[in-house]
Amino acid sequence: MDLNKIMTDLEAKNPGQVEFLQAAREVLETIEEFVNENPIYNENALIERIVEPERVLMFRVPWTDDNGNVQVNRGYRVEFNSAIGPYKGGLRFHPSVNLSILKFLGFEQTFKNSLTTLPMGGGKGGSDFNPKGKSDAEVMRFCQAFMSELFRHIGPNTDVPAGDIGVGGREIGYLYGMYKKLRNEFTGVLTGKGMSFGGSLIRPEATGFGGIYYTKEMLATKGDKLDGKTAALSGFGNVTWGAALKLKELGAKVVTVSGPDGYCLIENGMTDDMIDYLLELRASNNDVVAPMADEFDEVKFFAGKKPWEVKVDMAFPCAIQNELNGDDAKALIANGVKYVSEISNMGCTPEAIEAFHEAKILFGPGKAVNAGGVAVSGLEMAQNSMRYNWTEKEVDAKLHQIMSDIHAAGVKYGTEADGYINYVKGSNIAGFIKVADAMIAQGIV
């Protein structure tokens, strides 16, 4: 495997796709040594094949707003890899959505899903549609228009989308209703569904819960525990909400949440009422966190700032890619941070990750830390297939075990000679092996 040649070729084929190229380099750099020690992968051109999506769909989405005006957005579905199961990954509705971002997310999803050990391939999709400020009727009409094309390409054994940024329970409901109408069948083709039509218990909390279960295992390698620790979280959506719930339950103190407008500081830690209020903020579709300071006297709002300037024991990026950069990492390290876990996808820049590794700060990468969401999506698919629902306790126990196993895989392949655990390297190798071996077994297809 010649990393420089592969990256040069990728850059030539994918000009301007910064996020995808960043994700590819991060994975390939960490698996290069392993691949070259196992010639079978080079003999089958595994790297050249695994960085190319199997299929990319792009389509127009025309819809009518409340004023009767026709609007046009662009829809996508990147079906990246189906070697170990049907394509699986979320739909993101956000103005920033483009092919580069969705290819990066689909690529990451392939390895993340492999780590869960569940039979799910990797995919991602979405649109540059912005739900912010839209009425329920407008969101419904857009979702129906989006599904009127997507339905041709998905199915319970082909491609099973879920939610992501801008796609919550409301959007999943509208998407599923249109799929059901067009296909005239009731199947588990979307996950994150409501409990009244095939959803799974703790799915909304799963990404946050799973991230904290993974971090708990990280702390255990140092003989440490969450109880009494302070934590900085970014974002204020479902992921942040789930993480805050579980951290408080396990005795940690959540002192920040954030939005595009700045961050909120809660020096004494978030209360149950504050955590519940995050759901109101998310439902408002206004994408700002400042109202939390108006709602609670104990909350201070810092406009235009990031939460990474606050002195904490643990940091959890929970919002969007590249939200924590090299300077942010240096600030956290200078303030004595001990653990960093990406619950967002590729939440840290390469410079930030390098800084954490150089400082020997334990760092959990997104593809491992945030796998809890897709893990419970996989459990939802299993329940749909059985026409049966597990209890909340059963789903939570399965999630906890999956996250423990993902952590163990990272330790197995990422422990270095000095005892430091490079979870990025370990998780990438562990995720790669299952996908690559399945691709070899299935021939050159």
How many Å apart are CA 108 and CA 123, to the nearest integer? 9
Q: Are 190 and 162 in contact (CB under 8 A)?
A: yes
Active site residue 103: no
Alpha-carbon 151 to chain mean position: 23
Could you give the C-alpha distances from 323 to 150, 234, 306, 349, 429, in angstroms and in order? Answer: 30, 9, 9, 8, 25
In terms of Cβ atoms closer than 10 Å to its own Cβ (0-12, 13-18, 19+), residue 330 is middle
Q: Where are the beta strands (DSSP E) in 150-286?
A: 159-162, 230-233, 253-259, 262-265
Q: Are 299 and 258 in contact (CB under 8 A)?
A: no
Residues 6+ apart with CB under 8 A from 116: 371, 374, 375, 378, 402, 406
Among residues 103, 112, 124, 425, the one annotated as catalytic is 124
Q: Are 119 and 84 in contact (CB under 8 A)?
A: yes
Which residue type, as a one-letter code, is found at position 311? Answer: K
The total of other beta-carbon atoms located within 10 Å of residue 269's CB is 16
Residues annotated as catalytic (active site), given as ranges:
124
